[in-house]
Amino acid sequence: MINHLITQKNWKTQLSEAITSIDELLSILQLEAVRENIYVPKHFELRVPRAFVAKMTIGDSEDPLLKQVLPDQQEQIKVTGYVADPLSENTQNPIKGMLHKYQSRVLLTITGACAIHCRYCFRQHFDYSANMPTAEAKEKIIDYITVHTEINEVILSGGDPLNVTNRRLFAWLDTLESLPQLTTIRIHTRLPLVIPERLDDALLTRLSQSRCNIVMVIHCNHANEIDTLTAEHLQRARAAGITLLNQAVLLKGINDSVEVQAQLSQCLFSCGVLPYYLHVLDKVSGAAHFDIDERSSIQLYWSLLAVLPGYLVPKLVRELPNRPFKVPINIYNEY
């Protein structure tokens, strides 16, 4: 714990005071020596809020949280098969800001901004400026959902949908709740791990009053992301009636061991969160150094099945373009 980083500031202040300077980050962590391994691509710079840095260990260049955010010169290496848009999302948005790939669910990217920049992100090359819903697009989205009666769930995504103000978020909720066909509103977010205070009273109260089921899928990759403050906020969200799930990405050198995965599941469960998906890496250019070969992933998964109760084992999946669901990895391949 880095005590001087622990703040009582509200989430917006914390958001605006996120660290974007490599030198500042390395100085806080006393890791000036690793400066030469760093290369920062223009399109995806360093961004990490201080509360997340406070969960890192000083002097440890292998810290699993640091590795998720610290740019690395390996990002420059061009590797065959790793591309800018691995899920062909740029061709699957019939309306700006909306993706309809799976029958009963549509995904809305209500903001391109994230509180944190994760180096493995599959949307790191995504052109958000061309894909934000304008007021006009919002109308079109509503019309689209109304016509597509098979849609019963809307997923708010991004960017990070909790990066927007409560006012803007509540406006989306009001609109969506007015569509009788919708039973569920889902929020995919990393903010509860990055700035736990984002789960403020106003937000939890508003969500608890929704006529829809509210599902929040947090994106936590390592148990170290859950400190006491984070755990408290997650438990409050759970107590407010929100269904809490987690999705993680399997990342080399960060969470690719049975011990780390088992600890993550147990830790999530103690905060009222159930594991949902464990994604193998999307083959996005710049992230090849995080990838794990499929055989090792499957072996890890078998070990996980052996040590955890079934309800704490996430589904091991790969997202593929042009498939109507996240595809389960065939774990019998290696049995």
Residue with smaller CB distance to ligand SF4, 124 or 261: 124
Over the window 308 to 327, marking each residue x when it contacts ligand PLP by CB under 6 A and - when it does not, the resulting string is -----------------xx-
> Does 190 sit near ligand SF4 (CB under 6 A)?
yes
Q: Which of residues 203-242 bind ligand SF4 (CB under 6 A)?
A: 219
Q: Which of residues 120-159 bind ligand PLP (CB under 6 A)?
A: 155
Residue with smaller CB distance to ligand PLP, 75 or 153: 153
CB of 323 to ligand PLP, least distance (A): 10
Q: Which stretch binds ligand SF4 (CB under 6 A): 57-65, 76-84, 115-123, 197-205?
A: 115-123
> Does 102 sit near ligand PLP (CB under 6 A)?
yes
Record the tokens describing residue 228, joined without a space: 């006491």
Residue with smaller CB distance to ligand SF4, 123 or 138: 123
> Does 117 sit near ligand PLP (CB under 6 A)?
no
Residue selected from 100, 123, 186, 198 as contacting ligand SF4 according to rule CB under 6 A: 123
Residue selected from 25, 121, 141, 217 as contacting ligand SF4 according to rule CB under 6 A: 121
Q: Site size for ligand PLP, by CB under 6 A?
A: 8
- CA dist., res. 169 & res. 161, Å (int): 8
- CA dist., res. 249 & res. 264, Å (int): 12
- Phi/psi of residue 202, each to 5°? -60, -40
Residue selected from 101, 119, 123, 198 as contacting ligand PLP according to rule CB under 6 A: 101
3-class secondary structure per residue, the chain: CCHHHCCCCCHHHHHHCCECCHHHHHHHCCCHHHHHHCCCCCCCCCCECHHHHCCCCCCCCCCCCHHHHCCCHHHHCCCCCCECCCCCHHHCCCECCEEEEECCEEEEECCCCCCCCCCCCCCCCCCHHHCCCCHHHHHHHHHHHHHCCCCCEEEEECCCHHHCCHHHHHHHHHHHHCCCCCCEEEEEECHHHHCHHHCCHHHHHHHHCCCCEEEEEECCCCHHHCCHHHHHHHHHHHHCCCEEEEEEECCCCCCCCHHHHHHHHHHHHHCCCEEEEEECCCCECCCHHHCCCHHHHHHHHHHHHHHCCHHHCCEEEECCCCCCCCEECCHHHHC
> Does 289 sit near ligand SF4 (CB under 6 A)?
no
Q: Which stretch binds ligand SF4 (CB under 6 A): 4-12, 51-59, 118-126, 270-278?
A: 118-126
Instruction: Say which entry of ligand PLP, ligand SF4, none residue 242 contacts (CB below 5 to 8 A, set by partner kind).
Output: none
Residue with smaller CB distance to ligand PLP, 107 or 288: 107
CB of 329 to ligand PLP, least distance (A): 14
Residue with smaller CB distance to ligand PLP, 2 or 132: 132
> Does 118 sit near ligand SF4 (CB under 6 A)?
yes
- CA dist., res. 324 & res. 319, Å (int): 10
CA 197 from centroid of its chain's CA atoms: 17
CB of 243 to ligand SF4, least distance (A): 20
- CA dist., res. 328 & res. 335, Å (int): 15
CB of 246 to ligand SF4, least distance (A): 13
Helix (H) or strand (E) holding 245: strand 243-249
Residue selected from 75, 160, 197, 225 as contacting ligand SF4 according to rule CB under 6 A: 160
Residue selected from 105, 117, 238, 252 as contacting ligand PLP according to rule CB under 6 A: 105
> Does 125 sit near ligand SF4 (CB under 6 A)?
no
Residues near ligand SF4 (CB under 6 A)? 114, 116-118, 121, 123, 158, 160, 190, 219
